[in-house]
Amino acid sequence: MNLLEKIAARSATVGVIGLGYAGLPLVIQFVKSGFKSYGFDLDRDKIKCLEMGKSYIKHIPDEETRVLKSNGGFHPTTDFALLKKVDCIIICVPTPINHYREPDLSSVLKTTKVIAKHLQKGQLVVLESTTYPGTTDEDMRTILEATGKKAGRDFFLAYSPDREDSNNQQYSTITIPKVVGGYTPACLKVANALYSAVVQKTVPVASTRVAEAAKLLESIYRAVNIALVNELKVLFDRMNIDIHAVIEAAKTKPFGYQAFYPGPGLGGRCIPVDPFYLTWKARQFDFHTKFIELAAEINTAMPYYVVDKIVDALNRNNKVIANSKVLILGLAYKKDIDDTRGSPSLKLIELLTQKGAVVDYNDPYIPRTKKMRGDGLKKDSVPLTRDTLKKYDCVVIATDHSCYDYELIVKNASLVVDTRNAVNGFHKVGTVVRA
């Protein structure tokens, strides 16, 4: 039985490498769809949680991970030698950027080398991690073909970008269309068959490079448009115009306009990082991506703008930033999740601390900070009560979690700096400053 037949019969075994925000929901969907699956990760704590049927991601409930435990077809493991038992290998490892905004593909390349050690004839290897065009058919293929096996003949190679949106109540792994690009037509056919078995719609494209570029375009589109409204927010603030009122008016147009909203900076895995994969690759073609880099410059400046607004607001209250007590509400990069990757709240804490402020945070989804890449922050979330609010010189709404009692916040804080338009309707003259 060949791989296509095994996929159709649900007898193919799937291995997902990297059980984070993209890999975990993906492997859950494969198990639910009847595929025997392996979950590979270097983090033993994640493996232990899955063995106990517990979730380590807030928006993925234990009920979902208990499905993995109760189903005898799922095996979480740190033993990558088991890759030889897998028919289809999907890579969902991190692809960050370094301090120079250059791509860090170390996890992808190390993972590919591990796969090469155990590569079996007829296996499918798919990369889902965001990257620049050429990673799959150049970098990965070179490593895998060093085994003597040829892509498209001895094994199948494809790229299908992760499109997960944490805690999105409208779209999930199964309903988000899956873009799929193969190194050869045969590779595309196999990869498309695999994803077609677990999602409602696939979008086959001409090559792995088209699929890689499509993911970058999605993120760059959002980054550029967010930069536009962020710049307009700063301008309209000087003109004493409410940017949110402007957006509400503009979005009544039923065509030719899509609403984007300003904030204290970009956060998450994709939007702050993905554009730099293309700007870096473009330099190899003697091309300077001015538009993309301008958007990044604007978005990167937003936490500094917010800090300036905090300093000005404290001054009007006859306080200086040094030794002022500041409470950041929300450490996650967006509402109602526990993901701090790239969160502008972390930058706000850093900048305020540098200015001498005493900074705490509250986030009901993040009771204490974890060790993060390049971040030495170690704090516990303080309780959010009337008495707590009254202790701070300034309360900054950085993430607009749905569970926050904004009326309580406005009534009890001496100063609120709102970066998310969260207290609209609870406005108290002299207390709330929009930033």
Alpha-carbon span 202 to 9, nearest angstrom: 19
CB atoms within 10 A of CB 197: 18
Catalytic status, residue 403: no
Q: Report whether 4 contacts 190 (CB < 8 A).
A: yes
Cα Rg for the chain, rounded, in angstroms?
Answer: 24
Give the SS3 label for residue 126.
strand
Alpha-carbon span 57 to 64, nearest angstrom: 11
Nearest residue to 109 (alpha-carbon basis) of 150, 82, 138, 80: 138
Share in percent of the chain as helix, strand, coil (round to 5): 40, 15, 45
CB atoms within 10 A of CB 286: 6
Nearest residue to 216 (alpha-carbon basis) of 134, 290, 286: 134
> What DSSP line would sit under 199-224, residue for residue?
SS-EEEES-HHHHHHHHHHHHHHHHH
Which of these is catalytic: 88, 270, 394, 403? 270
What the block records as the tokens of 109 is 């390349």
Q: Going by DSSP bridges, is the β-strand pair 178-182/156-159 parallel, antiparallel, or unpaired? A: antiparallel
Q: What is the residue whose two structure tokens read 């234990």?
A: 62
Alpha-carbon span 298 to 294, nearest angstrom: 6
Q: Going by DSSP bridges, is the β-strand pair 88-91/74-77 parallel, antiparallel, or unpaired? A: unpaired
Catalytic sites, residue numbers: 270
